[in-house]
Amino acid sequence: MEKTVKIAVIGGGPAGLAAAESAVEQGIRPDDILILERADKLGGILNQCIHNGFGLHTFREELTGPEYADRFIRKVREHQIPYLLKAMVIDISPAGMPGGTGLTVTAMNAEEGLVRVHAKAVILAMGCRERPRGALNLPGYRPAGIYTAGTAQRFVNLEGRMPGHEVVILGSGDIGLIMARRLTLEGARVRVVAELMPYSGGLERNIVQCLDDYGIPLKLSHTVVDIKGRKRVESVTIAEVGPDRRPIPGTEEEYTCDTLLLSCGLIPENELSSALGVQMNGVTKGPVVNESLETSVPGVFACGNVLHVHDLVDYVSEEAAQAGANAARFVLGEIAEDSAAPVTITAQDGVRYTVPSSISLNRMEDRQLIRFRVGNEYRNAGIRIEFDGKEFRTLKKNILAPGSMEQVILQKKDLEGIKGLKNITLRVVQY
């Protein structure tokens, strides 16, 4: 199959769906868009996130994951935006359109075989995946019964199967916390959640409603030092770690269990982006983008968890809508010329990264959202915004935590007010 469209959207999860809808609202004909989705359903990871708490920002009501996804799937169907399911994109290459412009997306599909899609713009919305055991350097045997939290979530919520009955969880990411509750409700005994860092990787609300509600202990500054069992997990030993994150001898505790779940971080899925030559950010493991969420390859935009891992899907939808609108403007020739020298944004002193990492004053809208995460827990702190090294404003924050995404909004008039502005710096300040 060979097809020419204006915008190809890689991924039919929350980011891809919102981006496609937004492109239509910006004036692209639905026929000129194609969403390519690897799974047999639209909706992405939301389909297995059956817990509630989604959509309060977007819809002012509390939805479960599948309900939230359904709102966007309905819009895609209403607009009749074409999508291809079970389509695994294997390559994105430049110079796909006649005359050597645009991009070619190559995908595999069981019915269509090799699929080639030529597009003027591509929206990267592939999401992220979990850090697996092999990336964690866990000692011990390699028996059955070790899963990432998301795999266990898929087993229970989509396949109707239990991964085990006595469970230890390593890592306090949100999916691990949610699964601690889910497995408890289904009759398993979750013995402990161990977290290497001195703070939780997940949202405070999930510690309250998933662990505290069920009396599941959370052990901060602890990690797995041994896994026993040849065929199936028989026990997991955890130990306290010092400030150097190394286990402290003598603090080992052995938990008998048949299952170990890993909730140790998410990594944006960027093999396609890297192969295309998109410039990557070493901190987020996602593409470097400008104010329009455009990557270093013109016409290639990125949004959602492939860009940086979000805490709330509502923010993914919001960001994806922006990427979709900008891709539409790019295709329609409405996007302004880039400034000769964009304003760079530097993340410092506790601010780990920013998205975007540069702003073109020509292109920016009246308000520009800057999203970021901090690298530690701070109380009574602030985010200082500096224009060319001089304090512009400091925003007070009672609590800053690595598990929560933070944001500041910059006004175009403020940036234009500084003659020859070159750099904006964001840093954490302590009071």
Partner 1 sequence: MKEIRNLTCIRCPMGCQLTVTLQDGAVQSVTGNTCPRGAEYGRNEVTHPVRTVTSTVRVEGGERPVVAVKTKTEVPKEKIFDVMQALNGLYVKAPVEIGDVLLEDIAGTGSSLVATAEDAAC
**Alpha carbons 276 and 279: distance in angstroms, whole number:** 9
CB 39 to partner 1: min, Å:
12
Structure tokens at 356: 């975007």
SS3 label, residue 326: helix
Distance CA 28, CA 24 (A): 5
Q: In the bound complex, what is the minimum distance in angstroms from residue 311's beta carbon to partner 1?
A: 6
Q: How far apart are CA 325 and CA 18, in angstroms?
A: 10
Reported residue count of the chain is 431
Q: How many alpha carbons lie under 13 Å from residue 123 in its C-beta half-sphere?
A: 42
Nearer to partner 1, 312 or 418 (CB): 312
Taking the complex as a whole, the smallest distance from the CB of residue 205 to partner 1 amounts, in Å, to 4
Closer Cβ to partner 1, 183 or 303, answer by number: 183
Would you say 12 and 85 are in contact if contact means Cβ atoms under 8 Å apart? yes
Q: Which of 14, 9, 17 is nearest to 312 (CA)?
A: 14
Q: How far is the CB of 189 from partner 1 (least distance, A)?
A: 13
Nearer to partner 1, 116 or 154 (CB): 154
425, 348 in Cβ contact below 8 A?
A: yes
When the beta carbons of 56 and 248 are compared against partner 1, the nearer one is 56
Nearest one of 387, 393, 390 to 416, comparing CA atoms: 387
Helix 14-25 × helix 313-331 angle, to 10°: 40
Which residue's CB is nearer to partner 1, number 48 or number 148? 48
Least Å distance, CB 357 to partner 1, is 25
CB of 190 to partner 1, least distance (A): 14
- As measured in angstroms, the least distance from the Cβ of 70 to partner 1 is 6
Pick 47 or 368: Cβ nearer partner 1: 47
User: Which of 234, 236, 218, 216 is CA-nearest to residue 226?
Assistant: 236
Nearer to partner 1 by C-beta: 210 or 300?
210
Question: Is the CB of 213 or the CB of 334 nearer to partner 1?
Answer: 213
Taking the complex as a whole, the smallest distance from the CB of residue 56 to partner 1 amounts, in Å, to 4
Q: How many angstroms separate the CA atoms of 196 and 173, rounded?
A: 11
What gap in Å lies between CA 95 and CA 82, rounded to an integer?
23
CB neighbourhood size of 342 (10 A): 19
d(CA 86, CA 12): 11
Q: How far is the CB of 255 from partner 1 (least distance, A)?
A: 23
Tell me which amino acid residue 96 is: G
Cα 305 versus chain centre, distance: 2
Residues within the interface to partner 1 (CB under 8 A): 47, 50-53, 56-57, 62-67, 70, 156-160, 182, 185-186, 203-205, 207-209, 213, 311-312, 398-399, 404
Rank residues 58 and 290 by Cβ distance to partner 1 and give the closer one: 58
User: Of 297, 281, 280, which Cα lies nearest the Cα of 93?
Assistant: 297
Query: Which amino acid, one-letter code, is at 130?
Result: E
| Least separation in angstroms between CB 85 and partner 1 | 13
**Amino acid type, 182:** R
| Residue (60 or 231) nearer to partner 1, CB | 60
